[in-house]
Amino acid sequence: MTDSLLKNLSLKSLMGLLFMLSISCNEKPSNAKLSSLALSIPDIVAPADSMHAQKQTIISTPIQYDTTKKYIYLTFDDGPQHGTTACVETIKKEQVKASFFMIGNQINDVYLKKLVASIRNDYPQILLANHSFTHAGNKYIYFYHHPQMAFNDFIQAQETINIPFKIIRLPGNSAWIGANSIKTSPLVRPVCKMLDSAGYNVIGWDVEWSFNHKTANPIQTPETMLELVNHAFEKNYTHTKNHLVILSHDRMFRNANFTDSLQKFISLLKQNSNYVFETVDHYPNLKKPL
């Protein structure tokens, strides 16, 4: 941690963090300790001004699926927030792939822009994707009943976060849009049709690692999560056979004991040689080019 970064952790940063912790798919964590955040974000040298130029260098190369394998897509929603850095460090330590769906209006100072830029530059190991600009203000019914407003919100996020590919996860709703398919609830169908026409893909989820809405701590143990994953593959309870998307949230793993839970879960999955970790740009049947 350099002096300059410490200076960047200004009152504005802390106010921003308070705000972003108030935005979630469900409820804000009540016991988040912001004071340790300064120690959890690594020193990142990539200047925020270089983000646009780097956009041109990120290209998704199609992969050949191995029919003997099963593909796992780890996804983390609602970042950047307290816990994002712990997740990134765990993924790198375990040498697996994962995707982060981020919220535009939470990236409100240079410090967080640098964190997001570093994640963007971690591709192809880590993919940065679109989770809207405002997270619907957590007023999902109103948001989705105003599809043009919702559409504009996603476009604003795409541009301000500098998302490399047209891949979105809807706030508070699991929906799927690919090259030739749309699977949504009636509530989100209007905005999904607009996103589809604009060339976007939408990724839902098959299995969620749930969290306590008061503490934000994970509910299931790593062993239980492994059973859920195995079961979903065995029973073909996935949107696409042999491809499974796991939803979790960065903040669940902000404390060391729960960071360990994430690491344990990943290590358990890795023990199955048939499981392959991928980023969501390699999910089957997305629009090309991304």
By C-beta, is 77 or 281 nearer to Zn ion?
Answer: 77
Helix (H) or strand (E) holding 128: strand 126-130
Nearest distance from C-beta of residue 227 to Zn ion, angstroms? 25
The verdict on 77 binding Zn ion (CB under 5 A) reads yes
Q: How far apart are CA 46 and CA 114, in angstroms?
A: 7
Per-residue x/- marks for Zn ion, 7-46, CB under 5 A? ------------------x---------------------
**Secondary structure class of 34 (helix, strand, coil):** helix
By C-beta, is 160 or 274 nearer to Zn ion?
Answer: 160
Per-residue x/- marks for Zn ion, 175-214, CB under 5 A? ----------------------------------------
Nearest distance from C-beta of residue 25 to Zn ion, angstroms? 4
Q: How far apart are CA 3 and CA 107, in angstroms?
A: 21
Write out the DSSP string of 69-89: -EEEEEEEEEESSTTHHHHHH
Q: Measure CA 207 to chain center.
A: 14
Instruction: State which of residues 80, 171, 178, 218 lies at the interface with Zn ion (CB under 5 A).
Output: 171
The verdict on 153 binding Zn ion (CB under 5 A) reads no
Q: 163-194: b or e for each residue (b if 16 or more CB lie within 10 Å)?
A: bbbbbbbbbbbbbbbbeeeeebeebbbbbbeb
The verdict on 104 binding Zn ion (CB under 5 A) reads no
Q: Residue numbers of the site for Zn ion (CB under 5 A)?
A: 25, 77-78, 171
